[in-house]
Amino acid sequence: MPEIVSFGEPLVEFNAESVGGPRPGALYSTGFGGDSSNFAVAVSRLGGDAGYLSRVGDDGFGRMLLELWKTEGVDAGHVVVDPGHPTGVYFILRDGTTAEFVYRRCGSAAAQLTPDDVPPDWIENARLLHVTGITQAIGRGSCDAVFQAIDVARAAGTTVTYDPNIRPQLWPLHEARAVTRYTAGMCDVVMPNLEEGRLLTGREDPHDIADELLELGAPMAVLKMGSAGAVVATAREHVRVPALQVRATDPTGAGDTFNAAFAVALVEGRAVADAARFASAAASHVVQGLGAVNQIPRRRLADRLLGELTAADARAEP
């Protein structure tokens, strides 16, 4: 059984190759998305033993995803093919400065997920379970599945990492805040980005945000801040981790790769600050090209990026 397990909604991605809204003749590059699936692929590329649970439609997009997990070495043996519901897709549109996600996922196969799709023995035997707010937002059954999986993990001593991944298109903000704040208190590590941290806590400063996340009950908070690096906070200390300065083209999926690299490093027994540095280095590669999955680095590259980050950091020391 896999060591690192995630579950939720995988999506086929259509990523606009030029700026501007939909128009005849606009080109899109076809790829993969879905935060929990991005996480599983990244775990596997980075050398971890990944397992993924979901439902896909009995359609071409579902088959593309099944092929992805097979090629990437992700154990997707329990993924259900549902003939009655389609696989979800999303478009990434850009207007020059910002990118917008447009979803076609309502009534999707993954939105039918229930606790029955998450075998307890996978969670009990895993070293780490990763859950996300998107999985909670897409359906009542999938939200129940997240809570049940966390309960099973806690009883079995499986580490739980949680990315609130707040998507306002998927649920009202007051509901997202309430559910994700509550869930954060049930997990071992809560890992929002800065914007989500601000939404969750109403605080501005990264250290204040981290402190409030800890007050929710999580023993550790990791605040992802893109090119500004990350803050790893426990009740004992706050550690600031730098980021490589790169040219960002598309940040989609960078947070998922950060989470995955952090998970892989934790399972390998690395110290938390080292795990966060590795995660920051790996994530820096994802932003440099189009797509959530395309740019996920393999282990050798991620190790090299970590070396570059360490060297850049040493040069920056006064």
Tokens 């996340």: give the residue: 213
Q: Is 291 in the site for ligand KDG (CB under 6 A)?
A: no
End-to-end alpha-carbon separation of the chain, Å? 47
Tokens 């519901």: give the residue: 85
> Which among 233, 237, 195 is positioned nearest to 213, based on CA atoms?
233
Cβ neighbours for 69, distance < 8 A, ≥ 6 positions apart? 37, 40, 41, 52, 75, 76, 79
**How far is CA 255 from each of CA 91, 121, 316, rounded to the nearest angstrom?**
18, 28, 25
Which amino acid would we find at residue 312?
A: A
Q: Is 256 in the site for ligand KDG (CB under 6 A)?
A: yes
Sketch the per residue contact string, 80 through 119, with ligand KDG: x for CB under 6 A, - otherwise. Answer: ----------x----------x------------------
Q: Find the shortest distance in angstroms from Cβ 196 to ligand KDG.
A: 11
Q: Is 167 in the site for ligand KDG (CB under 6 A)?
A: yes
User: Which positions are annotated as active-site residues?
Assistant: 256
Do residues 135 and 39 touch, judged by C-beta distance below 8 A? no
Q: Is 305 in the site for ligand KDG (CB under 6 A)?
A: no
Nearer to ligand KDG, 34 or 51 (CB): 34
Which amino acid would we find at residue 41?
A: V
Choose the binding region for ligand KDG from 48-56, 58-66, 185-193, 249-257 (rule: CB under 6 A). Answer: 249-257
Residue sitting closest to ligand KDG (CB): 33
Q: Is 292 in the site for ligand KDG (CB under 6 A)?
A: yes
Q: Find the shortest distance in angstroms from Cβ 191 to ligand KDG.
A: 12
Q: Is 33 in the site for ligand KDG (CB under 6 A)?
A: yes
Angle of CA points 265, 273, 317, to nearest 5°: 130
Which amino acid would we find at residue 125?
A: N
Choose the binding region for ligand KDG from 30-38, 42-50, 152-160, 173-181 (rule: CB under 6 A). Answer: 30-38
Q: Is 213 in the site for ligand KDG (CB under 6 A)?
A: no
Do residues 68 and 32 touch, judged by C-beta distance below 8 A? yes
Q: Residues in the site for ligand KDG, rule: CB under 6 A?
A: 11, 33-35, 38, 90, 101, 134, 167, 252-253, 255-256, 292
